[in-house]
Structure 1
Amino acid sequence: MRRRLLLSTLAVALVAILLLGIPLGYATHRLIYEEAHQSLERETSTILGGVQLSLSTGRMVTADRIAQGYPGRYVVIRLPDETVLTAGDRFRKGTELLTDSRTAGGVHVQVSHPAAEVREEALRQLLLIGSLALLGVAVTVGLAMFQARKFTLPLSDLAETADRLGSGNARPRRRRYGIPEVDRVAEVLDRSAVRIADLLAASREFASDASHQLRTPLTALSMRLEEMIESADHPDIVREEGAAALSQAERLVAVVEQLLARARHDRTGAAEPVAVDDVVAQQVEEWRPIFRRAGRDIRLTGEHGLIGLVSPASLSQIVATLLDNSLVHGAGTVTITTKNSASSVVVEVGDEGQGVPPELERRVFERSVTGGGGTGLGLYLARSLAVVDGGRLELLQARPAVFAVFLRQAAEMHLAAEPVVVGPA
């Protein structure tokens, strides 16, 4: 492209220079010769008038005075008495001459000028015009190279940016080139890079979240299946364990749907009145065998019969995350306390371990923050699920660790459903 742009600009410049230079050279050449002829005519008329004036006043006409007044000319004067006077040097034979003659009152004057001088002057002017034309061509080539570089480098840069986007490097470059059309393309590519970066980040986040969130129900499901295999001789236990495994599978499906909704940037908060005791009891039943294998136990305390506004799958996942976090990072007995505060239904999960390190206390809910032995995603995702349903997850006590889930009370739904009456009933 650079070569085509350079050649096209040079061709346009050459055509313009030729269209102007050739007529200008011809006109200059003709003007120089015309001016030489007119100058020679004026000199001849002046000499003729001077000779006539001298003859009328009785003064002598001398060739020396005429030669001094008109150097570089060869002048021949023929007087009425047939006297011939010559002034200047006679030009050698074969030299082209410009000659003009006048006759008046018996006086004949002939003035000659070498054409070589006029030709040299015309040649100098033509060379000047040619030099200016060459200078114009050189300036045109320089400007064409500059413009070609100015246009082609941004396009090459934009092509590189597009190639980077195709290879997955979606970092916007924020470069502008001073050309409105090219800057518009660069701006569109930068916006596309931001969108691609968001999509890639969402994909990576979804993969990371899915791997973490699916681990807990899969672990519990595997344990239930192991229990079924060990209890094959006891049909009642097999049915019980099969029902628990089916519950885990249904919960696993709900987790997958939540993660897919998060990847689509949807809100998954299908909050509804949920019996907190049922969700907590189901989680305790699933996790108690795991804690017993680790030599630990789970204890339930607090109020019963509480109803909170939350998605059952979300509350199950939050409690499961807190129990898993306690299993990995905590110690001793895990205590789950349910209670009713002034505006929320609260589920607290605490253990007897060393708690959250001081350096992580303020960042424990941030993504990828972990005290070791984990992925740093569990608490981050658990808080996200709580927020979606209008609740929140907080760290009430750092050492030993006590986490609390604050759920909206079911009364809020009834208040929202009641019509507002204005004026007397």
Structure 2
Amino acid sequence: MSLRARIRLLALGAAAAVLLLVAVPLWLLEQSVAADDVEQSATESARGVADYLSAAGLRTDLQAYVERVNGRDDAPPVAVVTPDGRRYGPDLPGADAQLRPGPDGDGDGDGDGDRDGPFASQSSPDVDAVDGGHLVRVVVRTEGGPTTVLAYAADAQVRETVGSRLLPLGLAALVVLALVGLAAEIVARRLVLDLDRTADLADTIAAGDAVARVPEAGPPEVQRVAHALNGLAGRIDELLAAERETAADLSHRLRTPLTALRLDVESLPPGPARAELTDRVDTLERTLTAVIHQARRTDREGARARCAPGPVVAEAAAYWQPLVEDQGRATTVEVGDDLPNVRCAADDLRAALDALLENCIAHTPDRTPIAVVAEQREGLVVVEVRDGGPGFAAEAVGRGRSDGGSSGLGLDIARACARASGGDLVVGRDDGWTVVRLGLGTA
């Protein structure tokens, strides 16, 4: 998970935790308040019908009046049970168990202690828990006996009330989370921007650009990282330069005794011994020259060598073309367009190709066709050197393991070049051709 994603997740998690800590007690409070409000509404409805009965008595339009009361929006259901057992209104849960005399036994007197006049015959509201809610009961003394008024406060109405009150708060919480996420994204982008720039330039330095340096900008922590990275890059450049200079200086120091040795050899009388010693001195001198060249070459190519493979392949094929034509060989050279750079020096790639082409010429009969193909495959630049000869065993890819009478040094050089770039060398047969496939890693 990226740093930006972690910052966003942390911010949203913290905001969600705070909202949850607020939402739980708020939900409990709203649950209690909504229950009280629904119960109070049922109580008021029951008292209203009781007041009507106290003032008007049992009239013939009682059914119409109860229907009007129950027809109001959001009104709790109300039912009236007369002394003769007639029921007006819906059947309410637990209503049969509540049909009992009021607190005064016969309905006379002031049941709640604070009523007088025509309303003195009402009892105090009695609230009992029933299935799915609460039932409010008020008993009224009327002609013929006590009349019971029932109102039902349903738990479903409580939940609906809580939901309607918490819905705007829930939408507000979602808006808060969205704003927190947006703010976290802005902050994370500003924090990570400097780190991304530092990482990109660090990759550039790692790729071999010794000049690139990381700008020391941003928060103090990022500045410290950039400063340390710049110091490390500078120190690496110093160590590499010192190593190259040391190798070159040691090689130069060997030239003096080598010159003296050559003078001693030249002073010998002509003969086989002198010729053999001269050849060995020449070999030693070429080796020293190669060491000096290798030490100095990195100064031009940077910490990590790279080159464009297309021109190198074409140049190597052109170099061997006159000898190939003299031997009557058919030659095919195919170099793909826009090949990416590979992670090896042009001199190393040229040496590998020269070794492979030399093997084809030296170990196959005249007029044997040769083909060189360079193309990009699966993230690698593949250079294939093919010939129509009998081929050789795969075990020949190693120094001193050739089965063609040579030292095997050429294949070993080509393999070392491929592996140093992040690829490898493969030997095989393909449709009658001997194929040496050089896979080179791209830069």
Pairwise same-fold verdict (TM > 0.5): no
* Larger Rg, first or second structure (1 or 2): 1
